[in-house]
Structure 1
Amino acid sequence: MKQSLRHKKITELVKQKGYLSTEELVTLLKVSPQTIRRDLNELAENNLITRHHGGAASPSSSENSDYRERRHFFSSEKQLIGKEVAKIIPNGSSLFIDIGSTPEAVATELLEHQNLRIVTNNLNAAYILMQNNTFDITMAGGSLRQDGGIIGEATIAFIGQFRLDFGILGISSIDLDGSLLDYDYHEVQVKRAIIESSRNTILVTDHSKFSRRAMVHLGSLSEVEYLFTDSIPPEQISNLIHSSNVKLHICR
């Protein structure tokens, strides 16, 4: 593979996953560790990645990927997660559906349900769910973002008026100590309100969130009742899940 193509591929992978080790890049691109190290040094000099000992990360932990890109990342994995979450949601339940492409995948898989009462700050999820005329859908008020998310003080106050059976929550990053992290302070406040207003919080996330880096602290993994993901989490996170009695579902 030509150097220019390798650089493009490395940049795309790091942007998608948040962090990749040198060993992972060697395996994926089938080149020597020395070649990868040279590539990473050059990319870091051009501010296309951030160089770390043993790997590379996105150039900033304060910005999320563009929504149009995120919705295509690991789409088949998100669909599997959506199918498994749908299995534990009884007909007639009440639930929140959060911002994000994985909660939207859950919304799609709920369309065969009946008589769900849904509150959401996700315009895209509401558009999906309105196909089922047995659903009672309530939109949160607030400021509308370009990705279809609704956030702000009005959103937090609105969510606080409810007490629903389930909260379907997305997240940008899960740190090795179990910290739940995101990129947007205002979005984190809305997610906090969803956790506090849900009898059961269901965290839905693909495996890439175990290696991404975000900067705004939401809370701890131990605060959720369920984690649905597509691969076994890193050992430290797995140990925390076990000690916290979080119900882990691996969706394959």
Structure 2
Amino acid sequence: MNIRQMQILEVVRASGRASVEELSARLEVTPQTIRRDLAELADQGVLDRVHGGAILRSGASNIAYEERRRMNEGAKAAIGRACAAQIPDNSSVILNIGTTTEAVARALLRHRNLTVVTNNMNVANILAANESCEVLVAGGLLRRSDGGLVGDLTSEFMANFKTDYAIIGCSALDEDGDLLDFDMAEVRVSRAILRQARERWLVTDSAKLAQKAPIRVVSLGELDALFIDQPVPEALAKVCEGAGTRVIVATADP
């Protein structure tokens, strides 16, 4: 998937469908180029071609999110608890999109006097149950597949804050220590979030070490801590050690 195709996917995700003419004008390429891109994306299984354009593959987004939510639930819950244990009451936190950040939100339900900024509607709904928690939700394009808010408006919203902690997830973590993701709009928001915090933490389960994604977010060496459910490989451990990034291995309840 090239950069233009990722931009096409971003547009279609935002509204559920897009026409060839709209994409051609927006990306300043010929309709023939857009048709070729849509054909390739359809072959990859992420879009369905329709007359004059494309739509998100029927049901694929919601199913994918539910599958992600169920994967490694115990590990994510343990990571959420370990992360929340490091956050004192009376703190300010930014939580971004992801099923592991949602696990952190669930582990924060007993905290007192938190201010939480988020572009994740699921996080906001979870923390609505904590009456001692002030929740500020970003504006932006609603990504219906997972309740995420993305786009320039979201990044601009985040720039209004300076929080104690920024806690983000990722789609993949490679052995060079790079955090990777699929959605350019989400990546831009994640980078904006990281600029607005005194402490920057990554929460991810060890399955992400075996995943691949095309867009680099930041290096793990630019973050202050990694919360994960298994010890990291030696190469990644060296990256963390050299950069002073703490590695906290969360253990599930017996």
Match of 2:114 in 1: 116
2:131 is aligned with 1:133 = yes
SS at match of 1:231: coil
Rounded to whole Å, the distance in 1 between the matches of 2:122 and 2:164 is 21
Match of 1:81 in 2: 79
Q: After superposition, what is the alpha-carbon deviation per residue over 1:28-85, rounded to whole angstroms, capped at 9, x for unaligned?
A: xxxxxxxxxxxxxxxxxxx99xxxxxxxxxxxxxx9x811110001000000001111
Counterpart mapping for 1:101-250 below 5 A: 101-146=99-144, 147-250=146-249
After superposition, the CA RMSD in angstroms is 1.8
- Deviation, structure 1 residue 163: 0.5
Match of 2:95 in 1: 97
SS at match of 1:119: strand
Q: After superposition, what is the alpha-carbon deviation per residue over 1:125-159, rounded to whole angstroms, capped at 9, x for unaligned?
A: 10000101111110000000111000000000010
Residue 213 of structure 2 aligns with an amino acid whose one-letter code is A
Q: Percent identity?
A: 40
Residue 76 of structure 2 aligns with an amino acid whose one-letter code is K
Rounded to whole Å, the distance in 2 between the matches of 1:169 and 1:218 is 11
Rounded to whole Å, the distance in 1 between the matches of 2:103 and 2:190 is 18
SS at match of 1:171: coil
Q: After superposition, what is the alpha-carbon deviation per residue over 1:144-195, rounded to whole angstroms, capped at 9, x for unaligned?
A: 0111000000000010111100011001111111111100010000000011
TM-score, scaled relative to structure 1: 0.74
List gaps (5 residues or longer) in structure 1: 1-46, 49-62
- Deviation, structure 1 residue 219: 1.2
Q: After superposition, what is the alpha-carbon deviation per residue over 1:76-102, rounded to whole angstroms, capped at 9, x for unaligned?
A: 000000111111101010000110000
SS at match of 1:71: helix
Residue 145 of structure 1 aligns with an amino acid whose one-letter code is R
SS at match of 2:212: coil
SS at match of 1:249: strand
Match of 2:37 in 1: none
Rounded to whole Å, the distance in 1 between the matches of 2:239 and 2:140 is 35
Aligned length: 193
Greater CA drift, 97-106 or 171-180: 171-180
Rounded to whole Å, the distance in 1 between the matches of 2:209 and 2:66 is 21
Residue 134 of structure 1 aligns with an amino acid whose one-letter code is S
- Deviation, structure 1 residue 235: 1.2
Rounded to whole Å, the distance in 2 between the matches of 1:221 and 1:191 is 13
SS at match of 1:66: helix
Match of 2:53 in 1: none
Match of 2:68 in 1: 70
Runs of 4+ residues over 6 Å off in structure 1: none
TM-score, scaled relative to structure 2: 0.73
Rounded to whole Å, the distance in 2 between the matches of 1:113 and 1:234 is 33
- Deviation, structure 1 residue 218: 0.8
SS at match of 2:70: coil
SS at match of 2:236: helix
Rounded to whole Å, the distance in 2 between the matches of 1:80 and 1:176 is 23
- Deviation, structure 1 residue 228: 0.2
